[in-house]
Structure 1
């Protein structure tokens, strides 16, 4: 099978296509003929040598795929050959075939293309785990999302809005702010506006109940100011750095909760629970087309370098997908 390989850690041009032996599914896994694969920020970091895969994971890039199951492990009872699925994989997604834990597979929603289905697992697992499990986001609350036009951001806006949450989101251009507004959130242009002041203005000085932050750096302190009393702040990345000087007094005075997580390091049991909750609570919304992934661009498999460069440009709005069939 063809895969995306790397000469060594580095810029996007270290990526190239090569041939390797097709993997086999272990007893609890399925083997998927991949039609499309999602591009995610952790892929960029892994390619750069800053995010090595776990010891038991495939070294091949790629954390989400969509395709048809071609074989199942002997312990798999809920899937069969021919089933159309999208899956959160533990690496190995940039390939014509990928193995996935059966518990991390979900059915392709009705009327979804392979490209749309491949845009679901990584972002929907991440958003559900961090906003609805860790932060306990509830209907009637308020949410601030930093990076509102990223794959995570566009997913979080739609999911939170669908569950009755008032959403605010930051972005750095007029075009991106217009996109955020089209998804149903209040946009804040962080290049022209102070997001703390804007949040205070929109919430009558109360602040927001939950903040989803992938920026870090000086945003960490400013998030304390933008949060309401009993607010919950979740960090899922640190694009502006993970080290900063903090005054933690607001954490005490407001009784804030500051937490964070990465998805890849979570146990199979945790990912299985996330999948079950998504199937029960989110997949009906997808099947009814009440929400759908925002697709920025689709690249042929051989153009993976261009796909990575697109993500690194930070110009994208929504998901970037590899079409493995092309």
Structure 2
């Protein structure tokens, strides 16, 4: 008899209601792949894009989900011991092959990151894609130096909150934006030095704080405010385009001489699992356990609440990373 599992499937693009919790066939590990028993998975805006049918890649029907956290169920190639704690992300998960919205997922062993932690699965499930993106934006996109200043545009997003945590661990001065002053306490709780209300134009406020502008900026809102972010950055500084919370990611008419201030560099970051070194992941988890770092966990859902979870994600009411725990 074929083994089954619970999973969320999408047959065609549409509103949150197209997310259907079903009993489906469990995956079987192909050569080079491992099977992970999923304990929790984080939710990401790219999954909203996929669900709506506006993502640049992927096909239907599909089990979505670009990340998962759990334990090794089966590794036919012997890459990991059964029961080992692991995280996985990206690499086509939830787009070109079935992803993490399930009790089990099959992924290439090369995109699996081991760790050891006694933290609850709800907290661990918030980490992989959020940490990989925040770390890569700072380390690769900005090539940041300890003690520098940083602007995080879209600071109350899960990646924005994680970036603030990482930046403060590196002794950086953090300016972070939100559309509502009511969320200043959330920003301060992760170490933000200067929260700002984002009116669409914050460059003048940033320069009041730092004079010449920030050393680096992470753009998480989109190209609708990126020009202002560039003008918030000092000559010789760098802006890393990482996210598009506004769903604006294309500049219709890009004139570099007009968009780019003298000497300000523009980069981008969109990483894979290999962008998160095992040592960085373990250090972050250890810091969480000892209380010297925080994880910006927003709301925890059950699999049966996946439709509501997507509604909340779409409405930007989660207040941190949304996580689904798998019983």
TM over 0.5: yes
Which residue, 125, 129, 146 being the options, matches 1:118?
125
Deviations along 1:116-169, one digit per CA (max 9) or x if unpaired, are 111111111111122112210111111111111111011101011111111111
Which residue, 255, 259, 262 being the options, matches 2:267?
259
| Equivalences for residues 119-138 of structure 1 within 5 A | 119-138=126-145
Mapped to 2, the partners of 1:275 and 1:231 lie a distance apart of 25
Which residue, 239, 248, 251 being the options, matches 1:243?
251
Mapped to 1, the partners of 2:106 and 2:61 lie a distance apart of 9
Q: Which residue of 2 aligns with 1:51?
A: 55
Deviation of residue 251 (structure 1)?
Answer: 6.6
Deviation of residue 306 (structure 1)?
Answer: 0.2
Contact persistence 1:109–1:117 (CA under 8 A):
no
Mapped to 1, the partners of 2:260 and 2:201 lie a distance apart of 24
Deviation of residue 47 (structure 1)?
Answer: 0.2
Matched, 1:217 2:217: no
Q: 1:138–1:58: structure 2 CA closer, same or farther, 3 Å change rule? A: farther
Contact persistence 2:155–2:178 (CA under 8 A):
yes
Matched, 1:151 2:158: yes
Matched, 1:25 2:29: yes
Q: 1:184–1:24: structure 2 CA closer, same or farther, 3 Å change rule? A: same
| RMSD (Å), alpha carbons | 2.4
Contact persistence 1:53–1:59 (CA under 8 A):
no
SS in 1 for 2:134: helix
Mapped to 1, the partners of 2:296 and 2:260 lie a distance apart of 38
Mapped to 2, the partners of 1:240 and 1:261 lie a distance apart of 16
Instruction: Give structure 1 stretches of 5+ with no counterpart.
Output: none
Provide the aligned length of Structure 1 versus Structure 2: 314
SS in 2 for 1:231: strand
Mapped to 1, the partners of 2:113 and 2:321 lie a distance apart of 19
Q: Which residue of 2 aligns with 1:285?
A: 287
Mapped to 1, the partners of 2:154 and 2:34 lie a distance apart of 34
| TM-score, normalised via structure 1 length | 0.88
Mapped to 1, the partners of 2:137 and 2:254 lie a distance apart of 23
Contact persistence 2:11–2:61 (CA under 8 A):
no
Q: Which residue of 1 aligns with 2:75?
A: 72
Which residue, 34, 40, 50 being the options, matches 1:36?
40
Deviations along 1:47-67, one digit per CA (max 9) or x if unpaired, are 000115458x99321112121
Deviation of residue 36 (structure 1)?
Answer: 1.1
